[in-house]
Amino acid sequence: MMPRWLVLVVLLSCGAALFLGAGEAAAQGCAMCKTSLGGPGDPLSNGINASIFFMMSMPFVLFTVVGGWLTYMFRKHRPGTNTSEGVAPRPELKLLRAEREGAR
């Protein structure tokens, strides 16, 4: 089995190759862009590229921020772990046996 760091390196390399290799063909993916834009040197093409990359990154940014915040909050408040207010107490469970006659 491959070590975790090697898996991470392979995945990052694949991702980098995918994005860097596609840099030349940015904003040329659809027929409309290809016919209406002047190519990589066209200012409007650069503008559309910038807009696409910005909007494409936003869901990842938001997911990371909100996911990181939720993870932090849940880890912080996990019972039995250290928090800023000391060790969060575990709720004690008591088993009560109701009187048989009382239950009736």
Partner 1 sequence: MPRSSNTALADATLEAPPQPNLQVVVPRDGGPGGTVQSPPVSNARVAIAMFLVAESMFFAGLIGAYLVFRVGSVVWPPPGLPALPLGITWLNTIFLFASGVTMIQALRGIRRGDQRALRIGLAWTTALGAVFVAVQGYEWVQLLRHGLTASSGPYGSTFYTLIGTHAVHVVGAMGWVGYVAWMTHRGRYSARTHDGVEVCAVYWLYVCALWGILFWLVYH
Check residue 37 and report its DSSP letter: S
Give the HSE-up count for residue 42: Cα atoms under 13 Å, Cβ half-sphere: 15
In whole angstroms, what is the distance from residue 77 CA to residue 89 CA?
Answer: 10
Distances in Å between the Cα of 45 and the Cα atoms of 51, 57, 70 are 10, 18, 38
Can residue 32 be called a binding residue for partner 1 (CB under 8 A)? no
In whole angstroms, what is the distance from residue 83 CA to residue 64 CA?
Answer: 23
Q: Residue from 24, 74, 84, 86 that binds partner 1 (CB under 8 A)? A: 74
Q: Residue from 12, 50, 64, 81 that binds partner 1 (CB under 8 A)? A: 50
Instruction: Name the segment binding partner 1 (CB under 8 A); options: 4-12, 17-25, 28-36, 67-75.
Output: 67-75
Please report how close the Cβ of residue 61 comes to partner 1 at its closest, in angstroms.
8
In whole angstroms, what is the distance from residue 66 CA to residue 87 CA?
Answer: 25
Can residue 4 be called a binding residue for partner 1 (CB under 8 A)? no
Can residue 58 be called a binding residue for partner 1 (CB under 8 A)? yes
Residues that bind partner 1 (CB under 8 A): 43-52, 54-55, 58-59, 62, 66, 69-70, 73-74, 76-79, 88-98, 100, 103
